Each structure stands twice: as structure tokens, then as C-alpha cells.
Amino acid sequence: MDYENKHTTKTIIKKGITFGTCLAMVISYVNWHSVFWAIVHGLMSWVYVIYFLLRY
């Protein structure tokens, strides 16, 4: 049962990171209309999303 809980936690974390990256890239592209900045902000992931929420 312990193995099952660890596997579920890793799956949730992996999907959360993927969602954060996607969200950062979409927000960046909509605002800046630049693929380059979308990639850079996607690498920063949740940091950029939180920055965007606090800034705007």
C-alpha cells in the first residue's frame, strides 16, 4: 500500500508541473506574442504564473 501512495504522489506532481509550464507559456504568448518568451517563461513555470498574478 505504501508503494501505491508514492506512485500516486509522483504522478500528481508530474502533471502539476506540466500544467504549470503550459499555463505559463499560454499566458506569456497571449501577452507578448513571442514564441521565444513563451519558452523562457515556460521554463520558469509556476514562478512566472505567480508573478503574472501578482503583477497584473
> All 3 cell numbers of residue 33?
506574442
CB 27 within 8 A of CB 41: yes
Of 31 and 8, the one with more pLDDT: 31
Residue with cell 503574472: 52
Write the pLDDT tens digit of every residue in 11-52: 666 666 689 999 999 999 999 999 999 999 999 999 999 999
Residue with cell 504522478: 11
Q: For the whole model, what pTM was predicted?
A: 0.70
Query: What's the alpha-carbon Rg for the chain, to the nearest Å?
Result: 14
**What is the rounded distance in angstroms from the CA atom of residue 40 to the CA atom of residue 35?**
9
